[in-house]
Amino acid sequence: MVSPRGKGYYTKMGKWAIITGATDGIGKAYAQALAKRGMNILLISRTQKKLDACAEEIKSEFKVETKVLAADFSKCSEPGFAAPIEAMIKGMDVGVLVNNVGLSYPYPKCIADDECDWDLLDSLIKLNVYSTTVMTKIVIPGMKERKRGLVVSLSSAAGNMPCGSPMLAGYSATKAYISAFSKSIAYEVGSGITLQTHVPYFVVTNMSKIRKSSLMIPTPKAWVESSLKIMGYGSTTIVPYFAHFVQDYLAQCIPEGLAGWYTLRLHKDIRRRAIKKAEREAAAKTQ
């Protein structure tokens, strides 16, 4: 049994942690947890007002230095997007990068349906694939030069299931990309630098639309604590929260066809309930 990572593990990596998608949910929980462990925090997200509020909250509570950068990752494939980020981190001793920014479907949709449109697929690729690629490319050279650092990228159960994720095909594929991308770079950079993909199942977040925690559905804070305690141990792809690990283990054990049948059935039901809810809300507005 491994010992959990303590405060010193992260500060030895460097003085600064960068977190994308940092003002809500899992991203904010990472920022708070790393600040608690003594790291200065650079928050990168889209909305300046939320960034400023989050930075002030962290600075006040944990007495660390904070910086913010407003960046719209839906534009991260455009020329010049990386320049402001590169300028901000120039000379910065970055020890940790958390690639957290991402997008999912508003509700499950089949790829053949008109409602699964090009705009959605384009946004998924930019926010899930390009963002992680761009941020890792920006930060890794400095880590390699210093011969230390940690990059953790967030995948999803949808990207780790043996059957993929029927009705979330685009999301599933982008999250599977993150695992392969991180794994490949981990072998390129060698010892001293850790790259891992951490896989959540359901967590209480705005993206999941789940509001109540349970044994199987942790809060962002609980999930992030499990992530940081196991960081750097095991393989390049980790399911850190124990209840999720059990779910994932069972998913890997059952036949792919059975996993695909169950997941499709689950997502059809989620889609049905989401459409009914939207219809009720629309009807209420007309009254």
Q: In the annotation, is 171 catalytic?
A: yes
Catalytic residue among 10, 105, 171, 177: 171
Cβ atoms of 245 and 252 closer than 8 Å: no
Cβ atoms of 152 and 98 closer than 8 Å: yes
Half-sphere exposure of 227 (CA within 13 A, CB side): 30
Q: What is the DSSP letter of 74?
A: G
With tokens 């953790």, the residue in question is: 152
Cβ atoms of 186 and 195 closer than 8 Å: yes
Q: Find, among 181, 235, 175, the residue nearest to 200 by Cα.
A: 175
Please, which residues have CB within 8 angstroms of residue 59's CB and are 6 or more apart in sequence?
A: 65, 66
Cβ atoms of 18 and 42 closer than 8 Å: yes
Cα–Cα distance measured from residue 87 to residue 91, given in angstroms and rounded to the nearest whole number:
9
40-45 β-sheet, strand order:
66-70, 40-45, 16-20, 94-99, 149-154, 193-198, 237-238
- Output the six-digit token pair for 136: 């890792």
Cα–Cα distance measured from residue 241 to residue 229, given in angstroms and rounded to the nearest whole number:
10
Cα–Cα distance measured from residue 207 to residue 223, given in angstroms and rounded to the nearest whole number:
15
Catalytic residues: 171
